[in-house]
Amino acid sequence: MEAVDTITTIAIISIVLVIILVTALVIYVSIDSSNSSTNRGIISRDTACDANVSELPDISSLKCCKVSDSVSSQRYIDTIGSTFYDMVTSTGEVFWQDVCSGFCPESFSASSQTCRTFSGGIDQENTAVFLRCKEQIEPVDCDGKAKPIARVGTVPYYGYSATSAGCPVKNRVNCR
């Protein structure tokens, strides 16, 4: 008789746990899908940031960056036409704020989106550079971590790091 009671108790506990898990999952999915600004699981090709790659400037003539004695696909862009970038680009998307905050040499405040000095003041000059970068690569009208700024053929290139520090002139070589 005790074995039947134990089996019945385990069965009841299992059913209750399954009901709790299913309820929690339904609540999570309904909250996540109702908040469209955080629902980034599936990106439509119509709204992806690289949807119009052919309209981006082609940087195939720029040299590649040599990283750890290997030629990478990264390329440094100083200026394209009259647009100043001063950033290393890559085929992989990097969150735009991680790239642009690299223009803040001392520190960066994500809440105010300003470059800060070590003494706590606002670094006006570098904040202006940060904001220029933000305008260039923040995905405002598309879905993704960043907007691409250039292309090589049909491959989009995204900001990877601020300034030429990640790809100094001595490390720029012909691409393979």
Task: Give DSSP secondary structure letters for 13-39.
Answer: HHHHHHHHHHHHHHHHHHHHHH-TTT-
| pLDDT at residue 18 in the model | 75
Bridge partners, residue 84, by sequence:
79
Residue 67 carries which DSSP code?
E
- Digits of tens for pLDDT over the chain (176 positions)? 566 677 888 878 878 777 877 776 666 655 544 444 444 444 454 577 877 899 999 999 999 999 988 999 999 999 998 999 999 999 999 999 999 999 999 999 999 999 999 998 999 999 999 999 999 999 988 888 999 999 999 999 999 999 999 999 999 999 97
Give CA–CA dist 103/20, Å, rounded: 48
Q: Is 157 helix (H, G, I), strand (E, B) or coil?
A: strand
| pLDDT at residue 32 in the model | 47
Give CA–CA dist 117/114, Å, rounded: 10
Give the number of other CB atoms < 10 A from CB of residue 159.
27
| Bridge pairing between strands 107-109 and 150-152 | unpaired
Helix (H) and strand (E) counts in the chain: 3, 8
**What is the per-residue burial (b if ≥16 Cβ within 10 Å, else e) of 73-105?**
bbbbbeeeeeeebbbbbbbebbbbbebbbbbbe
Give CA–CA dist 162/122, Å, rounded: 19
| Token pair for 26 | 């339904």
Position 112: which residue type? S
Residue bearing tokens 């803040």 = 104
| Token pair for 104 | 């803040």
| pLDDT at residue 76 in the model | 96
- Check if the beta carbon of residue 134 is closer than 8 Å to that of residue 147: no
